[in-house]
Amino acid sequence: MGLIGARYIGGNNARSEFFAFIDAHVFVGPDWLKTPRKLLQEDPRTIVNYINFNLDAAAYRPMSLWKGIGSSATISMDLRQFWGGGSSEDLFSPITMGMFAISKFWWNQGAMDPELRTWGGENVEISFRTWLCGGRIVVAKDSFVAHGFRTKFPYPVNGADVQRNYVRIANVWMDQENLDLFYKASRTPLKDGKPKSDFGDISARLQLKKDLHCKPFSYYATKFKGRALCLPSE
């Protein structure tokens, strides 16, 4: 099942008005849900990012402040994500990373793509849906979560499945111009301009875009120009 399957089932079965995704290997600060709850009450079409720090796994406590990775995250043209690319003063983020709070209302407007496999890209997919379909991704400046980064996965992750996830996401949400840039940046093998590998049926996600009256991908690319979708270094 992996992370994606577990979160899909968890989100669908959540019964509260708001809920949060975190990993098992984290340390949360005091009142860590207070501001996210307030932001979600203001606008339920919201995803809330926490301020993330590295967790000292041996001592099970956050590392010193200067070792924090902060709230600033971004995404490159190949859809890979990394910390940085913005400012600690940013109120909004182009993407959410692995841990976030969301309203049940907004989850129900598309959840996560159930055809994504195991791990990789589910946060990108829900970020694109949020920004293109009337939502926002907000940073809660006083909500702290320390995360212990693993040195290896606790379950098998197939690299081909991860790339398939990104190709699928790009074909659902991107326009042709950005899709071509994604293919080049991600070095996706093509035949007659199309991916050689099958990424599944995307008709349900394309219908979701129509049902939610989503904006074209150019809206996202323009909104976060210079902040996201940069071409990776050769």
DSSP 8-class letter at 133: T
What is the value of pTM for the model shown? 0.93
Q: Judging by beta carbons within 10 Å of its beta carbon (0-12, 13-18, 19+), is residue 199 exposed, middle or buried?
A: buried
Only one residue has tokens 């860590």, namely 32
* Per-residue model confidence (pLDDT) at position 234: 45
Q: Report percent pLDDT > 90 for the chain.
A: 68
Lowest mean pLDDT among 60-69, 161-170, 180-189, 214-223: 60-69
pLDDT attached to residue 213 = 98
Give 178's Cβ-side CA count (13 Å radius): 23
SS3 100: strand
- The per-residue pLDDT for range 82-131, each reduced to its tens digit, is 887 777 778 899 999 889 999 999 999 999 999 999 999 999 999 999 99
pLDDT confidence band for 59 (50 / 70 / 90): confident
Question: Looking at the domain that runs over 1-224, which CATH code has it been given?
Answer: 3.90.550.10
Chain Cα centroid distance, residue 7: 12
Alpha helices in the chain (DSSP H): 2-13, 34-42, 104-107, 122-132, 159-173, 176-186, 203-211, 217-223
